[in-house]
Amino acid sequence: MLLTLDDAHLAFGHVALLDGAALQIDDGEKIALIGRNGSGKSSLLRALAGMATLDQGKLWKRSGLRVGYVAQEPDFSPEASVFEVLSAGLGAASGLLLAYHAAAQAVAQHGSTTALEHMQSLQEQLDHGDAWNSFFRVEQTLTRLGLRGETKIAALSGGGVKRVALGQALTGEPDLLLLDEPTNHLDLDGILWLEALIRDFRGGVLLVTHDRSFLEAVATRIVELDRGRLASYPGDFAAYESRKAAELAAEAQQAAKFDKFLAQEEVWIRKGIEARRTRNEGRVRRLEALRLDRAARRERLGQVEMRVARGEASGKLVAELEGVAKRYDQGWVVKDFSCRILRGDKIGLIGPNGAGKTTLLKLILGQLAPDQGQVRLGSRLEVAYFDQFRTALDEAAALVDVISPGSEYVEMGGQKKHVISYLGDFLFAPERARSPVKSLSGGERNRLLLARLFAKPANVLVLDEPTNDLDIETLELLEALLQEYAGTLFLVSHDRRFLDNVVTQSIVAEGGGHWREYAGGYQDWLAARQRAPQSPPVAAVKTPAAPPVAAARTKASKLSYREVQELAGLPQRIEQLEAEQASISARLADPDLYRESPDNGRRLAERLRQLDDELAVAMSRWEELESRS
């Protein structure tokens, strides 16, 4: 056992974030902490890390427990080097390591006798303690991060800064990792890297995340913070969803029965003088207790109500690109790219940080002139942007002024709505309407940006990482809204599930400035890449003569004897994989499994991930053979 929390209470103002919460973390567990924005998840992590104090409760940590904490938005000095930041995670040894690193650089650059003597003196001091092991850990972490120690924090992207924060936590060799939204600003490669890091980490992990694909890949247990209490759900996210739906239904039924009984008692107590003469004093006391229970019952938070203010429909053609290319000093960002985008298309842009997604978007929307090729724009385009860095928000501005500056109303679909009511649709209470932006959490800022975006009439939405910090329920509501959106959507996201549920086609960076279109979302792109792993970039494809094409088509349309046998056996194979998947999910949902055999639980979770991959491959192969039969 690494840590236990019992009867924890924590409140800000009149809002109780923790209300008798309890939690236990065992060695080797990978726990995902989920809950609504503003429910207190980050505050709980800070309390567990020793960076904040509880109002009440008991927090026990194993003797000598080393805790690594990564904040939602790491705050490092822009002028600090990566080596300096990583060394800071080592405690007392950090000063000596930094001095030795600086001396080694001075010797390498100048080679002076004084610098060499200073370096040798520091080396002797390092020899006396365990500092050499610490130095090795920093160098090893630099290798894992793929960064140079001399690089300044100011030169890194948001994803690079998050990697450095993770590296700093790891250099201290923690027994417990506390991670607050670790996937924010990471690209897909970075998220996959983090998944592998967490799966291989031998200690315990408690992480706050709303990335459902990431959550499914790493979590062995899900803990939900809901109305001040922590509820534990062993197993994967699907098991959590099933149990949570049943719990909410039972809670709603119980609350309805309670309210009905209370209403009957209220009718009785308000009867006339004749009823008062025969009043039972015990019944009166029971009614008073019922009233107190009803007042103390914390209602479940409401749901966000999202609607988009639709502008005038654009022309059928949104944009057409022919042989478009754009180059900067570092090389081609876009090279020989052609596509045709029509009204209603929902396009996901997939690629690593720095691949040029923003540049490509500006080319498509006519905001940047290409170096080569032509761009033809459609008519009546009204574009609205969502910025992942929230630069459009004035920290000192009140929420009402952000949504509707100079007016008390927002116009939606030809109807006016008071700005206070509109903010309420995005879960902002009336008393917070005059609060400044700087008082909001990360998730609340994203909700505010969405509220502002959707209040603006537009027929083209550009969403740059809109899922950062949003809770799962709000994510699902946003998905449903975008699925029904009649305009054109450009979505830049590293949330794989969100891409799969929203976009109809993807434009993917394939290196060297090459971009390629694929039908569907992230999983469709992966399946297409698996089917044709050796496919060259689009620009390298040459058009063969007519006879070979016809021959290839004839060959592809006819199955060999072996492929016919394979196709016949695939349904049974898929059925077996799904049955095994259901069996393992049921075993993982049993809480006794983790108490009796934690190692077996980890093996089953790993097998479940393998089954997901095997099923995807089998389904893809079945679809391919079926289409050719």
Bigger pLDDT: 163 vs 621: 163
The residue range of the domain holding 583 is: 548-628
pTM: 0.68
The whole-number average pLDDT for the span 524-546 is 58
Provide the CATH number for the domain around residue 554.
1.10.287.380
On whether residue 583 sits in a domain, the answer given is yes
Phi and psi angles of residue 501, each rounded to the nearest 5 degrees, phi first: -85, -10
On whether residue 26 sits in a domain, the answer given is no
Final residue before a domain boundary, out of 231, 266, 296? 296
Q: Is-contact 341 488, C-beta < 8 A?
A: yes
The whole-number average pLDDT for the span 404-425 is 82
What pLDDT does 543 receive? 34
* pLDDT averaged over every residue in the chain: 79
Sign of CA dihedral 550, 556, 557, 562: positive
The whole-number average pLDDT for the span 327-352 is 91
User: Does residue 558 surpass a pLDDT of 60?
Assistant: no
What pLDDT does 417 receive? 85
What pLDDT does 36 receive? 84
* pLDDT tens-digit series, residues 498-517: 999 999 999 999 988 999 99
**Environment class of 316 (CB within 10 Å of its CB; exposed 0-12, middle 13-18, buried 19+):** exposed
Final residue before a domain boundary, out of 278, 296, 314? 296
* pLDDT tens-digit series, residues 213-250: 999 899 999 999 988 899 999 888 878 877 877 776 77
DSSP string, 553-617: HHHHTS--HHHHHHHHHHHHHHHHHHHHHHHHHHHHT-THHHHH-HHHHHHHHHHHHHHHHHHHH
User: Does residue 314 surpass a pLDDT of 80?
Assistant: yes
Q: Is-contact 479 495, C-beta < 8 A?
A: no
* pLDDT tens-digit series, residues 447-501: 888 888 888 788 899 988 888 778 888 888 888 888 888 889 999 988 999 999 9
User: Does residue 380 surpass a pLDDT of 60?
Assistant: yes
On whether residue 623 sits in a domain, the answer given is yes
Residues whose CB is less than 8 angstroms from the CB of residue 232 and which lie 6 or more positions away in sequence, other chains included: 23, 221, 222, 223, 591
On whether residue 28 sits in a domain, the answer given is no
**What whole-number percentage of the chain has pLDDT above 70?**
74
On whether residue 231 sits in a domain, the answer given is no
The whole-number average pLDDT for the span 328-348 is 91
On whether residue 624 sits in a domain, the answer given is yes
Q: How many folded domains does the chain comprise?
A: 2
Three-state SS string across 205-227, please?
Answer: EEEECCCHHHHHHHCCEEEEEEC
User: Does residue 359 surpass a pLDDT of 60?
Assistant: yes
The whole-number average pLDDT for the span 49-54 is 90
What pLDDT does 536 receive? 45
Going by C-alpha positions, the residue among 537, 540, 542, 541 that lies closest to residue 510 is 537
- CA 110, CA 165: separation in Å to the nearest integer? 32
E-only strand ranges, 37-189: 56-61, 67-70, 176-180
On whether residue 148 sits in a domain, the answer given is no
For the ranges 57-66, 273-282, 292-301, the one whose mean pLDDT is highest: 57-66
Going by C-alpha positions, the residue among 164, 156, 168, 154 that lies closest to residue 87 is 168
On whether residue 250 sits in a domain, the answer given is yes
* Sheet containing strand 30-34, strands side by side: 67-70, 176-180, 204-208, 30-34, 221-226, 229-234
User: Does residue 177 surpass a pLDDT of 90?
Assistant: yes
H or E stretch covering 204: strand 204-208
Go through the chain and tell me how many residues it has: 629
User: Does residue 81 surpass a pLDDT of 80?
Assistant: yes
Final residue before a domain boundary, out of 258, 278, 296? 296
What pLDDT does 555 receive? 37
